[in-house]
């Protein structure tokens, strides 16, 4: 999501303010840091990075802060680092052109409606297009700061999304990546009452009619909205990549309730079972938070039990990080060392599953979409079910989807030969 926001910022500044990009910060007339605030670490990093950039920037160069930390801290950023010229929140990207010209401006309104805003065009990849389909989040997970930084959930009109996908296809892009905090809640809230009734499944069906779009990916879906229609579409639509993120957060029904996730351990397991039954080749990734307030050893064992049953292909693990003004931050906290130990246990368990999955891939044939030529002559791409694959080959493979036989497992990625 932040990557796409950065692309929008670049596009707007290129089109309206005559900026071009440089890779050398000492040469820059404008330095922008696009921030995350989902956990505490990136927030702390912001002020040390700001200090570094302020030291090396050329005379008269401007510095701006964008993203979720901008939404969350607002003018406090300028109070703490007076050399910062402007602050633009994650929901206010459309105001960037004006903000860079207005010293001291702070644009952080989380109710600002950008859903009809047609941003200028800029994409960092020639092969894949990130496309926002909704802004904000209508959930209130008790650990999460996002609803306070990205605002209420609102869907972007389908027409704008379809046009972006068509334009990408015309430019030779074969893969689109749909972005939203709860993508499968798409269509629940539109800003205009007249918007046609739409849901995520219908959006997927319409997008897959576009010639030239061969792959559709999305993140993040919420387990609560994975109804049978959606799972059926995921299974039967050949353009939808068979790699799905199903964020667990915790395997304990008690903790899930405290997190206000809206599902139980059994319910989550049933969703994964349905996905696996309908699409045996599907790969599943997840997010897990350990050491959420009150998490007992027994609760943590429930998480390990879900991990053992689902055997996720990829896990993004986090130690709980208290966020300001969230209900969980005032609950009784767990000792940090316990969190570290649980995190390590989880990582070790997951490694064993990862090895199993990757070994199973050897000998299989996958369609790989090549996107990156490495200096050592290898070309990297991703299979339809999200595995990273390297082959020997020339730049002719870039932008092509080709059958590859997997030969070697290097744990985090695979090697193969083009057929
Ligand atoms: N502490 C730790 N992890 C968090 N996440 C969100 N908020 C927190 C927090 N306060 C994780 C969740 C979410 C992912 C994007 O970040 O797992 O799914
Ligand atoms: Fe945060 Fe929960 Fe919304 Fe995800 S669904 S963005 S974790 S509040």
**pLDDT (tens digit, 9 = 90+) per residue, 333-368?**
999 999 999 999 999 999 999 999 999 999 999 999
Query: Looking at the structure, do residues 278 and 298 belong to the same domain, yes or no?
Result: yes
Query: Looking at the structure, do residues 294 and 330 belong to the same domain, yes or no?
Result: yes
Residue 122 lies in a domain: no
Distance (Å) from CA 401 to ligand 1 centroid? 34
The mean pLDDT value of the chain amounts to: 95
Query: Looking at the structure, do residues 308 and 376 belong to the same domain, yes or no?
Result: no
Q: Give the residue, by CA position, lying nearest to ligand 2 atom 2.
A: 141
- Beta strands (DSSP E) in 344-397 are 365-373, 378-383, 388-392
How many Cβ atoms from other residues are within 10 Å of residue 26's Cβ?
11
Range of the domain at 151: 128-359
Q: Which of 149, 127, 135 is nearest to 66 (CA)?
A: 149
Distance (Å) from CA 101 to ligand 1 centroid? 34
Q: Is 268 in the pocket of ligand 1 (CB under 6 A)?
A: no
Residue 83 is part of a domain; what is its CATH number?
Answer: 3.40.50.12160
Return the best residue to mutate from 38, 110, 144 for the ligand 2 pocket (most ligand atoms within 8 A of CB): 144
pTM: 0.95
Query: Looking at the structure, do residues 381 and 338 belong to the same domain, yes or no?
Result: no
pLDDT of residue 193: 66
Q: Residue 120 — very low, low, confident or very high, per pLDDT cuts 50/70/90?
A: confident
Residue 371 is part of a domain; what is its CATH number?
Answer: 2.40.50.140
Q: Mean of the pLDDT values across residues 274-283?
A: 96
Q: Residue 118 — very low, low, confident or very high, per pLDDT cuts 50/70/90?
A: confident
Q: Which of 164, 154, 160, 225 is nearest to 193 (CA)?
A: 154
Mark which of 107, 136, 155 sits at the end of a domain.
107
Q: Give the residue, by CA position, lying nearest to ligand 1 atom 7.
A: 144
Q: Is 225 in the pocket of ligand 2 (CB under 6 A)?
A: no
Q: Is 139 in the pocket of ligand 2 (CB under 6 A)?
A: yes
Distance (Å) from CA 220 to ligand 2 centroid? 9
pLDDT digits (tens, 9 = 90+) for 202-227: 999 999 999 999 999 999 999 999 99
The total number of structural domains that make up the chain: 3
Q: How far apart are CA 56 and CA 59, in angstroms?
A: 9
Residue 147 lies in a domain: yes
* In the predicted structure, residue 411 carries a pLDDT above the cut 80: no
Distance (Å) from CA 140 to ligand 2 centroid? 7
Q: Is 100 in the pocket of ligand 1 (CB under 6 A)?
A: no
Q: Mean of the pLDDT values across residues 371-386?
A: 94
* In the predicted structure, residue 236 carries a pLDDT above the cut 90: yes
Residue 18 lies in a domain: yes
Q: Mean of the pLDDT values across residues 119-128?
A: 92
Query: Looking at the structure, do residues 277 and 391 belong to the same domain, yes or no?
Result: no
Atom nearest to 137 CA in ligand 2:
3
CB 407 within 8 A of CB 389: no
Q: Residue 270 — very low, low, confident or very high, per pLDDT cuts 50/70/90?
A: very high
CB 175 within 8 A of CB 214: yes
Residue with tokens 């029904």: 253
Q: Residue 99 — very low, low, confident or very high, per pLDDT cuts 50/70/90?
A: very high
Q: Is 125 helix (H, G, I), strand (E, B) or coil?
A: coil
Residue 408 lies in a domain: yes
Return the best residue to mutate from 181, 246, 289 for the ligand 2 pocket (most ligand atoms within 8 A of CB): 181
Query: Looking at the structure, do residues 141 and 255 belong to the same domain, yes or no?
Result: yes
pLDDT of residue 337: 97
* In the predicted structure, residue 410 carries a pLDDT above the cut 90: no
Residue 21 lies in a domain: yes
Residue 160 is part of a domain; what is its CATH number?
Answer: 3.80.30.20
Atom nearest to 220 CA in ligand 2:
4
Query: Looking at the structure, do residues 143 and 230 belong to the same domain, yes or no?
Result: yes
Distance (Å) from CA 322 to ligand 1 centroid? 10
Distance (Å) from CA 101 to ligand 2 centroid? 34
The DSSP line for 243-289 is EEE---B-S-HHHHHHHT-S--HHHHHHHHHHHHHH-TT-EEEEEEE
CA quadruple 252, 258, 259, 263: dihedral positive or negative?
Answer: positive
Q: Residue 194 — very low, low, confident or very high, per pLDDT cuts 50/70/90?
A: low
Mark which of 325, 342, 359 sits at the end of a domain.
359
Query: Looking at the structure, do residues 202 and 91 belong to the same domain, yes or no?
Result: no
Q: Residue 381 — very low, low, confident or very high, per pLDDT cuts 50/70/90?
A: very high
Residue 40 lies in a domain: yes
pLDDT of residue 195: 60
Q: How far apart are CA 219 and CA 134, in angstroms?
A: 11
Residue 382 lies in a domain: yes
Distance (Å) from CA 359 to ligand 1 centroid? 30
Return the best residue to mutate from 137, 153, 182, 260 for the ligand 2 pocket (most ligand atoms within 8 A of CB): 137
Query: Looking at the structure, do residues 302 and 412 belong to the same domain, yes or no?
Result: no
Q: How far apart are CA 398 and CA 380, in angstroms?
A: 9
Q: Is 132 in the pocket of ligand 2 (CB under 6 A)?
A: no
- Among 28-37, 112-121, 147-156, 175-184, the range scoring the smallest mean pLDDT is 112-121
CB-count burial class (<10 Å; 0-12, 13-18, 19+) for 13: buried
pLDDT of residue 43: 82
Atom nearest to 288 CA in ligand 1:
17
Q: Return all residues near 193 (Cβ < 8 A) that are at least 6 apart.
A: none
Distance (Å) from CA 403 to ligand 1 centroid? 36
List the 86-89 sheet strands across, edge first: 30-35, 62-67, 86-89, 105-107
Query: Looking at the structure, do residues 14 and 77 belong to the same domain, yes or no?
Result: yes
Residue 262 lies in a domain: yes
* In the predicted structure, residue 91 carries a pLDDT above the cut 90: yes
pLDDT of residue 42: 81
Q: Residue 392 — very low, low, confident or very high, per pLDDT cuts 50/70/90?
A: very high
Mark which of 310, 328, 359 sits at the end of a domain.
359
Query: Looking at the structure, do residues 165 and 90 belong to the same domain, yes or no?
Result: no
Q: Which of 249, 279, 248 is nearest to 143 (CA)?
A: 249
Q: Is 1 in the pocket of ligand 1 (CB under 6 A)?
A: no
Ligand that lies nearest to the alpha carbon of residue 316, given by its number in the listed order: 1
Q: Mean of the pLDDT values across residues 372-377?
A: 91
Pairing assessment for the beta strands 215-219 and 314-319 based on DSSP bridges: unpaired
* More reliable by pLDDT, 348 or 191: 348
Query: Looking at the structure, do residues 67 and 212 belong to the same domain, yes or no?
Result: no
Distance (Å) from CA 137 to ligand 2 centroid? 6
């Amino acid at each position: 999501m932040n990557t796409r926001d950065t692309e929008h910022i670049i596009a707007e500044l290129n089109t309206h303010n005559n900026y071009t990009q440089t890779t050398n910060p000492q040469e820059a007339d404008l330095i922008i840091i696009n921030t995350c605030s989902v956990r505490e670490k990136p927030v702390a990093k912001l002020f040390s990075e700001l200090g570094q950039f302020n030291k090396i920037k050329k005379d008269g160069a401007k510095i701006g802060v964008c993203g979720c930390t901008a939404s969350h801290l607002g003018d406090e950023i300028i109070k703490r680092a007076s050399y910062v010229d402007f602050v633009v929140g994650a929901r206010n990207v459309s105001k960037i052109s004006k903000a860079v010209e207005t010293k001291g401006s702070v644009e952080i309104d989380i109710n600002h409606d950008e859903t009809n805003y047609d941003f200028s065009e800029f994409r960092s990849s020639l092969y894949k297009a990130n496309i926002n389909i909704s802004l904000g989040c209508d959930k209130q997970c008790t650990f999460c700061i996002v609803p306070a930084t990205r605002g209420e959930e609102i869907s972007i009109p389908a027409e704008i999304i379809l046009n972006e996908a068509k334009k990408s296809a015309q430019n030779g892009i074969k893969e689109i990546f749909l972005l939203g905090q709860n993508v499968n809640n798409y269509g629940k809230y539109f800003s205009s009452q007249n918007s046609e009734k739409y849901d995520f499944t219908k959006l997927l069906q319409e997008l897959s009619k576009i010639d030239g779009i061969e792959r559709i990916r999305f993140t993040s879906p919420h387990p609560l909205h994975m109804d049978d229609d959606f799972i059926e579409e995921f299974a039967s639509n050949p353009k939808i990549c068979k790699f799905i993120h199903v964020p667990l957060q915790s395997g304990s029904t008690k903790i899930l309730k405290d997190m206000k996730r809206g599902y139980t351990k059994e319910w989550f397991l049933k969703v994964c079972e349905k996905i696996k039954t309908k699409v045996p080749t599907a790969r599943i990734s997840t997010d897990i938070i350990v050491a959420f307030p009150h998490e007992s050893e027994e609760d943590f064992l429930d998480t390990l039990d879900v991990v053992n049953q689902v055997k996720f292909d990829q896990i993004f693990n986090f130690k709980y990080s208290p966020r300001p003004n969230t209900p969980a931050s005032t609950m009784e906290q767990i000792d940090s060392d316990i969190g570290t130990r649980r995190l390590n246990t989880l990582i070790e368990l997951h490694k064993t599953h990862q090895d199993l999955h990757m070994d199973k891939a050897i000998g299989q044939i996958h369609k790989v979409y090549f996107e990156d030529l490495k200096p050592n002559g290898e070309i990297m791409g991703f299979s339809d079910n999200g595995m990273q694959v390297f082959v020997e080959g020339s730049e002719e493979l870039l932008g092509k989807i080709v059958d590859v036989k997997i030969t070697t497992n290097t744990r985090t990625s695979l090697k193969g030969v083009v057929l």
